[in-house]
Structure 1
Amino acid sequence: MEEIRSLIADVPAVWRDLDHLKQAFVVLKAIADFTFCGLTPLLFGKTHMTLRTVTLMPLVALCFVSSDAAMFFALSKAAERTQIWIGLLLVLYSLVFFWWAQYTMKTFSGLTAAFSDDAPTFLITSGPWAFVRNPLYSAYLASLLAGFIVTSSSNHPDHGHAFLVSHAGGIALSALLVVFSIYYSAIREEEAKFDSSKLRSKYEAYKKKVWRFLPLGDVFGR
């Protein structure tokens, strides 16, 4: 608890150490991650949730929080402007695809959370789903990837919170890998449900045209 109080007390000083570009990145990423962790649970049906849904989604939120905390305290010494610009583009991508997906989902009802045990009754191929098969997962991972990119060169034990700053890149990478493994497992299960449903042929055709995480289908001719 003492370490947490110390971190909170240091927030204003750390914020003042950031230049305007880094401050803009922190604000935008905080908005994105708060939206993803706070709003997402409210958007999906809860009638088919399983024990894994209830246990793994809080773990995902913890990964976002730990990655963001490490990033914030390391950012003043960890990132070049190029890294920040790349991070900003990734966070903007994540927000655009997240809200675009929400707008598209307004015309569909019955979407359920990750690891739910329901069978698919429809296939969305419009909106961001026309570019990437899993736009929401893609958005979440893009934000975590941004956090890793801006902390990947962190190695400054002279900071007041030496462990957090020196290991910020490792913390951000660990969070990214943990969340990726959870989402990848969820996606594999969702794909298996399509393969055993009446939508199998449509989904197989869709898979051949659209990538799982990256909106690169047209680029590589898929």
Structure 2
Amino acid sequence: MPRTALIVAHGSPSDPDPQEAALRDLAVRVAALLPGWRIGGATLAKQGSFDAAVAELGTPWVYPYFMARGYFTKKVLAERAAPQGLRVLEPFGTEPALVQSAAHALRRELDGRGWQADGTTLLVAAHGSAVSRTSAESARDFAAALKSEMGFAEARAGYVEEPPFLADSAQGLGQAVCLPQFALNAGHMLEDVPEALAEAGFAGPVLPAFIDWPETPELIAQSLERQANSA
């Protein structure tokens, strides 16, 4: 059983270095919680990064830092891992503890503003896809689970790449908070999401991408340790 893991994200093909650095920093934070493990980070967008990280780590488990079981996790990443005999784990977005972690973050935001969940709308901003239902379904399920957990007045999702588009979902919400379902601070999170919210006149708080959540390294570390103990 390996005590090595490689955290892999898609990254930004047009500007791969910032996201590559962010993944490596995340790997350092996860490794600090797992004594005896070696953890690496790489993006698919950075040419040669995945193979170099695998060569350095040996035969690591591959941890997909993606929000859904979509095209990149089930096909692209699987095809990269298969020739080297690497085990690909379930992606970050499917972690059982993610809903509870998001609920804690949302409660902190609401408490800081003196808001009650039953008077607030939750807006989940997500990627969506023109070719796969997985991304949209994941976001809808996430929104529904958080509504059930916290008692929001309403929970809805809006997408960057398919209807209902985020600019439409974000209109006329009144008191609302936006939770972006994005792993990294890449193009969609930095450009498309704020542009859509501005177009809709959305004035509520917007939580950060998961890479900036203090709970994220612990979620990944707990997942790796749990799977190692059961292997």
Interval of TM-score (by shorter of Structure 1 and Structure 2): under 0.3
Greater helix proportion? 1
**Of the two, which has the highest radius of gyration?**
1
If the length of structure 2 is used for normalisation, what is the TM-score? 0.23
Tell me which of the two structures has the higher relative contact order, counting C-alpha pairs closer than 8 angstroms and 6 or more residues apart: 1
Question: Could you tell me the TM-score, scaled by structure 1's length?
Answer: 0.24
